[in-house]
Each structure stands twice: as structure tokens, then as C-alpha cells.
Structure 1
């Protein structure tokens, strides 16, 4: 297989874990990867392995998404690529621990990568796809979006943003030929906890899945049309019921401009 006329897939966080697995598995599906991460040496090794296994030439783009210059370079790579068909926002940081013990610089990086970079690269992807009338954006959230994990307040909040942002984009692109999928992993065997300064004992070991199995399931979910994909959730009805209840709560709170009766009580004394 050659890269001539091959559609491309840009993957952030491609040097390890979920991002690396997306790069490998999308290459097996015929997409020429554009590999984005900070560690150029790891990206070069992955590009060589992908070429050996698939014949596709992978593009290496070493960039730090927490820095404006790095994010702007990747943004331009998305906007300027004439055969980009898939963008996967897999880069993410944890900054785990009690909030008062997390360094401000680590919080800044978390928000920059998990929120700002995902937002701007999603925008760039939709602009690029809009010119062609097709394309797939995949944003990686977390089951932490439903309930923040222990010592993960900022992380859980950032992943809740990723979930709700992606769902809003799904409504924005309806009927356009563009797909937006949001994927919510639970514990996955990656370098995530080590990079966040914690060990993985916060979850039972039986809770973990391998990154390759997780990404394979998420891509199968995409094939099945699951735009909110939770690969370890046994029954999608649980998510659908939760989403419906959230909508009912929103309607109950927002459609009547009337203050609830309990707030009309006279103040004591």
C-alpha cells in the first residue's frame, strides 16, 4: 500500500497509549497517519513501525499542545492538509491529586491540553471537513465526566467539558456529512497514571482494559454509528436513559421562568 491518494488521519497524543493505538489501527484501515505528540523519538519509532506493517508513510509532527506555538502548528496542519479525513483528539493530562497540592503550572497544562487544544483542533477539523462535506472527528473524554475520580477534580471537570462540547458539535453538524464521535474510556493500561504522578491502585486491577482492545471497540462503535461510545458499558440503554434524564432536568429547570416555591419563604427573624 502506498500513501498516494490515501486519506489521512491526524492523531494527537500518538506517542503512547490510546493515541498510539488509534494511529496503528487507523493505519491498518488505510489512513496515512499524521502523528502528533511532544516526544519526537517515539513518533519516529511509531512511524517506522507503521510503514513496516502497512506500507503507509506516517508524518511526524512533534509539538507541545500546552504551548500556543505548538497548538498553532497543529491547527495549521489540520487546516492545510488536503486529504485529511479523520482527526483524533487523544492527548490528555491528569494533574491528579488533591487540588490544593497540584501545582498551578500543572493545572494550566491540563486546561490547555484537555480543553483548549481539543476545542481549537475540533474547530479546525470541522472547518477542513466542511470544505469537503465529509470527515470524522473523534474526541476522547472519560467516564470521569460522569463522576470525578478520586483526587481528579480538575481532570473530571475537563472531561465533562469534552463530553458536552462534543455532543453540542454533533448537533451542529447534523446533515452535513461530518461525524463527531466522543469516546469515554474507563481505566486503560497506559502511562497516564505514571505521567500524572500517581500509581494505578486507585482502581481495582480487574477494571483495566488494554489500549488496543479499547480502541478496536471504539472504532467498531463508530462503524455501528455510536456517536457517544463507552466501550466498557454493557448496555447502551444506560447512557441513553441518563442523557434523556439530563434533558428532562434541563427542561424542568430552564423552560419556565418561575422561581421555585421553596425560595419564597420569608427570612427567619
Structure 2
């Protein structure tokens, strides 16, 4: 089985997803672009066909809707032309758990974690059998920072990072590349939709700059790409500390500090 030239991008109507579509089109890749807003998708598709001469298919889907999600899953399982999945669709959520409703929590988790996981799981077996392909998952540095006070949103992004690193361990030996991209604050509509005033947020990165950096990481085959982190040794130190912590886990008995009651 061969891996195709096409790229499927979720959340492609605006922001990071649209920028990925532009960049991959410039590289000569055919596209399947997925989002809820069909009008915007059609407009983007027409522009990219004209500018880059690539094939662009529009697939309207709300990934929090199980039937829509299943359509995209089936496409990823069955279409051998698709060789890259960009799992970009997501939402932000302002405030902590005291400000959230059950419905808003459920929708956030469905979009940011459940749909992303299911789409990766749908395409991974085909990629593994073919010995190639790439899965790009868009996370956030907020997943590293519970201090930011966006606990549920941050938890979904921490999930994306862990999942991506775990999938890389599983799939890299089979020739499948998995990348987690962790942006910091980026100037997209995601904040407005979450009711967050971007005028109060300083130093937001322009979306094109973010995606260009992420694609350099993609070309370098980085497992985790942190476009806004200037000193990469800090990330490497964090990963080393994590591995050192794991090396000290001894599960036969509790640690000595817990063997005596206070």
C-alpha cells in the first residue's frame, strides 16, 4: 500500500488550519479541508485552486457531531491518497471550572480530545500498514501551565501532547511520523469565540509565522515543536527531569516518607 500526496486538515476555514492549507498547497499537496463553515471553506478552496493549481475538496463537518465525525473517520480509513492528517480543529474556553457549564465542558472535550483521538486512530492503522504518513496534532503551551487558570482547556491540550508523544513511541518504528505543535498565544478567531478580549493579550503571534515555524519542525521530524520557546534547552531539561523521575519509580512498596504516619 502506498501513501498518497493529499493532506486532510480539520478546522481549516480560518486561523491555523487555513494557514496550514495555504502552506501545504504551496508545496503542491492536494487538500481535503474540513470545518463547519462551508462558505468559508469554499472560498478558501477556490483561492487555493487558483493560486497553487492543486485539488482542494471541501468536507463540511462538525466534529462534535458523532455522525459528522464518522464521515471524516471513514475518509481517513479508506482514502489512500491522504498521507498527512493535521488535527487542528479545537476551541478555547475562558475561566476555570467554576465558570463552566456541563454542556460547555462536554463540547470542549469532544472537540479538543475525543475527535482528535478518533481521527488519529482512524488513520493510524492504514499509515502503519503502509509504513509511512504523518499525523500533526495542534496542542498548546497552556497544557504545560495549570497556573494560567484555564484548567479544562489546558487539560485537553495536555492530553494532546501526551497522546502525540505516546503515538510517536508506538508508530515511529512503523514509519509513521507524529508531531505535537504547542503554540503560545496566536492571533486567531479562537479567542473571540471563547469570549476572550485579545486587546488585553500582549504579544500574540501572527498565524502565518506560527505555521511556518511548525512546518520547519515538521520537516525536521520533531516530536514536539514549540515555536515560541527560544531556549530549547529548557524543554530538553524538562524532558530529562521527567525521565529521571520515572527511573525512580519503584512500585513494590510505597516510598519511605509514606511509611510513617505524621
TM-score (norm 1): 0.92
**Aligned position for 2:65:** 67
1:176 deviation in Å? Answer: 1.6
Q: Which residue is 1:255 aligned to?
A: 250
Number of paired residues? Answer: 260
Normalising by structure 2, we get a TM-score of 0.94
Matched with 1:238 is 234
- SS at 2:55 equivalent: coil
Equivalent residue number for residue 7 of structure 2: 9
CA distance in 2, matches of 1:38, 1:80: 22
Q: What is the match of residue 29 of structure 1?
A: 27
1:149 and 1:156 in contact (8 A); partners too: no
Deviation at 1:256?
A: 4.2
Alignment-derived partner of residue 89 in structure 2: 91
Provide the residue aligned with 1:215 in structure 2. 211
Query: Which residue does the alignment assign to 1:183?
Result: 181
Q: How far apart are 1:128 and its partner, in Å?
A: 2.2
Q: Distance in 1 between matches of 2:63 and 2:41?
A: 15
C-alpha distance in 1 between matches for 2:4 and 2:29: 6
Alpha-carbon contact 2:172-2:178 (below 8 Å) kept: no
Contact 1:6 1:32 in 2 (8 A): no
Offset, 1:264: 2.5
Give the Cα separation in 1 of the matches to 2:198 and 2:216: 27
Stretches of structure 1 lacking an aligned partner (at least 5 in a row): none
CA RMSD of aligned residues (A): 1.6
Shift of 1:225: 2.4
Structure 1 position 201, deviation (Å): 4.7
Give the C-alpha shift of residue 200 in structure 1: 2.1
In structure 1, the residue corresponding to 2:33 is in which secondary structure? strand
Q: Residue 222 of structure 1: CA displacement?
A: 1.3
